[in-house]
């Protein structure tokens, strides 16, 4: 067993656990920063480790296109290529290929698509996706799936799920015959926002030889309440002894709420992407460094934050660099945002340990959502309901 | 005296020395990386220190426009604002204002100019420039000057020099009355490529209360031989007991040749700017990481280089990141290029110490210029003459 539950919360469905991978153990619940191209944008591997990351995510699709998995294999695998010696999870690229819209064509055998970079035509099959990840040497690998957007009809979602399930079995077969024994394969649960389909997916999947479950097709444009609702519903169907990973989700409120529902793993580009737009996290919601109020503010991004950025630089300095398009400011904000999430995950884990996650969740959400200054209206609408 | 000669070379005009500033001593000859906006592009202060920088340069003009010197003064000065606790030299902005071309108007009192950012109209005077640098708290300050481009006529150069000399005296007066006693003021020698004017500038300047001499109006579009010729000529006129700074110059060959002529200080944006274009230094000339030959090259940028980049990452990885526009690659290349220059300066200083700079110079130039792969033709033309 790669996953071990250390403690279950009583008043929520949260679990404290650990995940064993070829590159070491990971404390769960865990947040995984995203290194799409084999680097967490603007950061060195040492900085990623220093902010508290134990496992990172990278993308099979992007690395397949550039630089090509043969090159990474020759470099000794992705860990060696990018100089990250802790666990790596690689996403299959189902979501990326799905995003190509008119540039891709799905058939039973696999997906034809044109590269978003230069239009080159490729044929992606479940077997190829496992083979690429074998070459990359990731610790946790994902099968090719069909990820639909919000608004897909029941029949579309049903058909996509059926193909996804057949592909999952092909992925398992290929991995058993040609794959690496030490790589961990998760199943991706699809089914859109239809309970019946999610249930069907789980029922078929629990019989398979999978080491964890990922919830896919979530955070694809739906209202947040629907995301929470289908996540909660699906999680309740899953066996407890395997890790659950909510793909592509990771706003601070989602981490707290997702953990309470029983999620063990998250990944999200938000902390680093927001940083490049000047947005930084605080316990009282998001702020934007461009704001004129920070012009002469010589205090750190957040008082009491222990990150490199907050220990050394002022908002006034970071604002100046950001407005002058100095990339060092993106690094400084990325470090802070990631550290914010890792400190949050640390507090979540301690709260589970101490049996007070429910209080922590209420307190955090109240402070964070009520005072958020970015997308305020969108949030206003949901926070009152979340805080009931 | 802020400058002390430790050793003079016999076969060249090189000097080994040390420069005392309020923020510590600097070993000369020295290269100063450029932090135009109050940050060396893509790098943290710790990285700048780690590559070997003892003093950096920043720009009065840029900091005056953004974020404004009042803000930096409130932050406790530039050292505190940008978290660099070693010496800082600030350029006056004469060169930047000169580059504004039609956006500026020079008169006896000062320079009217429109900001290159938003067109706001400013009036820059010698007194204001010293006042800004007082607020910034730089260790070495530069007076406002008029810097002409290559091709200026004798009469233009003569008039510009005369104004520059009157401004220098006003700068000195202002500094003596209102400035900081511990700040070091250099004079900037102008006069274009006319020996008579350079001589006149030096003769007037040696009588003034200046602690060092900068050679300005050099590297402004002239052929390299003219640059070396006028530098060599001017240096021979200067007293030996004060430091000499060649402004805006710092290609590897210029460092070796400039030191041999008696230059003690250099600054240049090239190492970091080239990095952002994929160019990296090696002992055998410049290379470009985009080159297809590095696609599967798992060796470091340069064998035996001790920089962070070379100790950890391969050309294949850096090339991949660079082609995907990952800013981490600009950082990796900037670190290497700066470290290359600091290692070169270290070898230059040891060569002076050991009395073999002349041999080192020949050997270095031969390897570097003969094998340079960027702008090969331009170089071919001059290296044969330089190597005579």
DSSP string, A66-107: TT-HHHHHHTTSHHHHHT--S-EEEE-SHHHHHHTGGGEEE-
Closest residue in A to B76 (Cα) is A298
Q: How far is A252 from chain B (nearest CA, A)?
A: 26
Reported confidence tier of residue A388, pLDDT bands at 50, 70, 90: very low
The whole-number average pLDDT for the span A58-66 is 96
The whole-number average pLDDT for the span A232-259 is 97
The whole-number average pLDDT for the span A68-87 is 98
pLDDT for the residue A2: 96
Task: Choose the mutation target among B35, B327, B329, B331 for the interface with A, i.e. most A CBs under 10 Å.
Answer: B327
C-alpha distance from residue B200 to each of A29, A130, A307, B217 (Å):
74, 76, 55, 15
Q: Which of B71, B314, B327 sits opposite A316 (nearest CB)?
A: B71
Q: Do the beta carbons of residue A29 and residue A254 sit within 8 Å?
A: no
C-alpha distance from residue A112 to each of A97, A103, B46, B88 (Å):
9, 8, 48, 57
pLDDT at residue A101 tops 80 = no
The whole-number average pLDDT for the span A252-259 is 96
Q: Which residues of chain B neighbour A296 with C-beta distances below 8 Å?
A: 71, 74
Reported confidence tier of residue B387, pLDDT bands at 50, 70, 90: very low
C-alpha torsion angle, residues B121, B127, B129, B135 (rounded to 10):
-110
SS3 B110: coil
The whole-number average pLDDT for the span A303-311 is 98
The whole-number average pLDDT for the span A76-88 is 98
Reported confidence tier of residue A191, pLDDT bands at 50, 70, 90: very high
Distance CA B91, CA B140 (A): 9
Closest residue in A to B67 (Cα) is A320
Interface contact flag, A320 B296, Cβ < 8 Å: no
The whole-number average pLDDT for the span B99-119 is 88
pLDDT at residue A226 tops 60 = yes
CB contact B307 to A (< 8 Å): no
Interface contact flag, A324 B75, Cβ < 8 Å: no
pLDDT for the residue B96: 86
Annotated catalytic residue, options A139, A264, A267, A372: A267
Q: What is the pLDDT of residues A17-32, one digit of tens each?
A: 999 999 999 999 999 9
| pTM, 2 dp | 0.97
Distance CA B149, CA B216 (A): 11
**Interacting residues of A165 by C-beta distance below 8 A, sequence separation 6+:** A201, A204, A205
**Interacting residues of A235 by C-beta distance below 8 A, sequence separation 6+:** A13, A215, A244, A261, A262, A263
Q: Which of A43, A71, A327 sits opposite B316 (nearest CB)?
A: A71
Show the CA angle centred on residue B247, arms to residues B244 and B248, nearest 5°.
150
Lowest mean pLDDT among A106-110, A323-327, A355-359, B113-117: B113-117
Q: Do the beta carbons of residue B306 and residue B290 sit within 8 Å?
A: no
Interface contact flag, B317 A41, Cβ < 8 Å: no
Interface contact flag, B323 A66, Cβ < 8 Å: yes
What is the number of other CB atoms lying within 10 angstroms of the CB of residue B308? Answer: 18
Q: Which residues of chain B neighbour A295 with C-beta distances below 8 Å?
A: 67, 71
Q: Do the beta carbons of residue B360 and residue B343 sit within 8 Å?
A: no
Active site residue A267: yes
The whole-number average pLDDT for the span A31-55 is 98
Q: Do the beta carbons of residue B216 and residue B145 sit within 8 Å?
A: yes
Nearest to B141 by CA among B156, B155, B126: B126
The whole-number average pLDDT for the span B261-269 is 97
The whole-number average pLDDT for the span A67-73 is 98
Q: What is the pLDDT of residues B350-364, one digit of tens each?
A: 999 999 999 999 999
pLDDT at residue B373 tops 90 = no
**Interacting residues of A319 by C-beta distance below 8 A, sequence separation 6+:** A289, A290, A291, A294, A295, A297, B67
- The mean of the pLDDT values for chain B is 94
Q: Which residues of chain B neighbour A317 with C-beta distances below 8 Å?
A: 38, 75, 81-83
pLDDT at residue A265 tops 70 = yes
pLDDT at residue A201 tops 90 = yes
Q: How far is B217 from chain A (nearest CA, A)?
A: 27
pLDDT at residue B69 tops 80 = yes
The whole-number average pLDDT for the span B297-324 is 98
CB contact B300 to A (< 8 Å): no
The whole-number average pLDDT for the span B171-198 is 98
Interface contact flag, A313 B83, Cβ < 8 Å: yes
Task: Tell me the two tokens of residue B82.
Answer: 């940008």
Report helix, strand and coil shares of chain A as percent, to nearest 5: 45, 20, 35
Interface contact flag, B313 A43, Cβ < 8 Å: no
Annotated catalytic residue, options B139, B145, B254, B267: B267
pLDDT for the residue A274: 95
Q: Which residues of chain A neighbour B71 with C-beta distances below 8 Å?
A: 295-296, 316, 320
Task: Tell me the two tokens of residue B43.
Answer: 């790098």
pLDDT for the residue B104: 87
pLDDT for the residue A337: 98
pLDDT for the residue B382: 53
Q: Which of B44, B74, B321 sits opposite A37 (nearest CB)?
A: B321
The residue among A386 and A158 whose pLDDT is bigger is A158
pLDDT for the residue A342: 98
Q: In what order do the strands lie in the sheet with A121-124?
A: A104-106, A111-114, A121-124
The residue among B1 and B215 whose pLDDT is bigger is B215
pLDDT for the residue A382: 53
The whole-number average pLDDT for the span B14-40 is 98
Q: Is the peptide bond before B219 cis (omega within 30 degrees of 0)?
A: no
C-alpha torsion angle, residues A253, A255, A261, A265 (rounded to 10):
160
Annotated catalytic residue, options B9, B91, B145, B264: B91
Active site residue B267: yes
CB contact B44 to A (< 8 Å): yes
Domains and CATH numbers, chain A: 3-268 (3.20.20.105), 275-386 (no CATH)
**Interacting residues of A154 by C-beta distance below 8 A, sequence separation 6+:** A192, A194, A197
CB contact A130 to B (< 8 Å): no
Q: Do the beta carbons of residue B154 and residue B179 sit within 8 Å?
A: no
pLDDT for the residue B103: 81
pLDDT at residue B168 tops 80 = yes
Q: What is the pLDDT of residues A116-161, one digit of tens each?
A: 888 899 999 999 999 999 999 999 999 999 999 999 999 999 999 9
pLDDT at residue B379 tops 70 = no
pLDDT for the residue B388: 37
Q: Which residues of chain B neighbour A321 with C-beta distances below 8 Å?
A: 37-39
CB contact A122 to B (< 8 Å): no
């Amino acid at each position: 067993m790669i996953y071990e539950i250390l403690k279950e919360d009583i008043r929520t469905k949260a679990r404290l656990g650990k995940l064993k991978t070829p590159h070491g153990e990971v404390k769960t619940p865990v947040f995984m920063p995203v290194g799409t191209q084999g680097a967490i944008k603007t950061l060195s591997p040492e900085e990623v480790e220093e902010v508290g990351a134990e496992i990172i995510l990278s993308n099979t699709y992007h690395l397949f296109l550039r630089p090509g998995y043969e090159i990474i294999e020759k470099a000794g695998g992705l860990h060696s290529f990018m100089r990250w010696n802790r666990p790596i999870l690689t996403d299959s690229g189902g979501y990326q290929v799905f995003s190509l819209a008119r540039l891709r064509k799905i058939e039973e055998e696999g997906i034809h698509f044109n590269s978003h970079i230069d239009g080159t035509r490729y044929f992606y099959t479940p077997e190829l996706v496992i083979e690429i990840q074998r070459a990359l040497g990731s610790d946790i690998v994902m099968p090719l799936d069909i990820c639909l957007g919000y608004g897909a009809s029941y029949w579309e979602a049903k058909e996509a799920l059926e193909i996804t399930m057949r592909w999952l079995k092909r992925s398992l077969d290929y991995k058993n015959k040609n794959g690496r024994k030490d790589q961990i394969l998760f199943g991706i649960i699809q089914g859109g926002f239809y309970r019946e389909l999610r249930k069907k997916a789980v029922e078929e999947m629990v019989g398979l030889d999978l080491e964890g479950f990922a919830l896919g097709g979530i955070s694809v444009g739906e209202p947040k309440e629907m995301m929470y609702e289908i996540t909660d519903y699906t999680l309740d169907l899953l066996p407890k002894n395997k890790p659950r990973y909510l793909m592509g989700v990771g706003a601070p409120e989602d981490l707290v709420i997702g953990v309470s529902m029983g999620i063990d793993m998250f990944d999200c580009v938000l902390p680093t992407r927001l940083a490049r737009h000047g947005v930084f996290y605080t316990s009282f919601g998001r702020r934007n460094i461009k704001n004129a109020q920070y012009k002469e503010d010589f205090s750190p991004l957040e008082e009491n934050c222990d990150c490199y950025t907050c220990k050394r630089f002022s908002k006034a300095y970071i604002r100046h660099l950001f407005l002058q398009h100095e990339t060092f400011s993106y690094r400084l904000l990325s470090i802070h945002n990631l550290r914010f999430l890792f400190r949050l995950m640390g507090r979540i884990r301690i709260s589970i340990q101490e049996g007070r996650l429910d209080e922590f969740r209420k307190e955090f959400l109240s402070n964070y959502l009520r005072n958020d200054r970015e997308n305020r209206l969108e949030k206003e609408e949901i926070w009152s309901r979340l805080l009931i």
